Amino acid sequence: MTIKLGRVLLTVLAIVLSIVWAFPVYWMVNSAFISNAVLQQFTPHFFPGEDFTTSNFAGAISDGSFFGALGMSVSITLIVVFFCLIFAFLGAVAISRFKFRGRKTFVLALLLIQMLPAEGLFIAQYKMMSSVGLLNSIVGVSVIYIAAVIPFTIWMLRGFVAGVPAELEEAAMVDGLSRFQAFMRITFPLLAPGLVASGVYAFLQAWNEFTVAVVLLPAEAAQTLPLWLRGFVQASATRETDWGQVMAASTIVAVPVIIFFLLVQGRMTSGIVGGAVKG
| Closest distance of CB 258 from another protein, Å | 4
Pick between residue 108 and residue 221 the one whose CB is nearest to another protein.
108
| Closest distance of CB 15 from another protein, Å | 6
Distance CA 54, CA 33 (A): 6
Strand extents, DSSP E, the chain: none
Q: Which residue, among 77, 80, 214, has the nearest Cα to 143 in the 3D structure?
A: 80
Q: Which residue, among 101, 142, 110, has the nearest Cα to 125 in the 3D structure?
A: 142
Pick between residue 27 and residue 67 the one whose CB is nearest to another protein.
27
Pick between residue 53 and residue 271 the one whose CB is nearest to another protein.
271
Fill in the DSSP letter of residue 35: -
Distance CA 109, CA 31 (A): 45
| Closest distance of CB 62 from another protein, Å | 19
Number of H helices, E strands in the chain: 14, 0
Q: Which residue, among 144, 134, 277, has the nearest Cα to 218 in the 3D structure?
A: 134
| Closest distance of CB 203 from another protein, Å | 12
Concatenate the DSSP letters of all residues of 212-246 into one string.
HHHHH--SGGG--HHHHHHHHHHHHHHS---HHHH
Pick between residue 81 and residue 225 the one whose CB is nearest to another protein.
225
Distance CA 131, CA 220 (A): 20
| Closest distance of CB 183 from another protein, Å | 10
| Closest distance of CB 27 from another protein, Å | 6
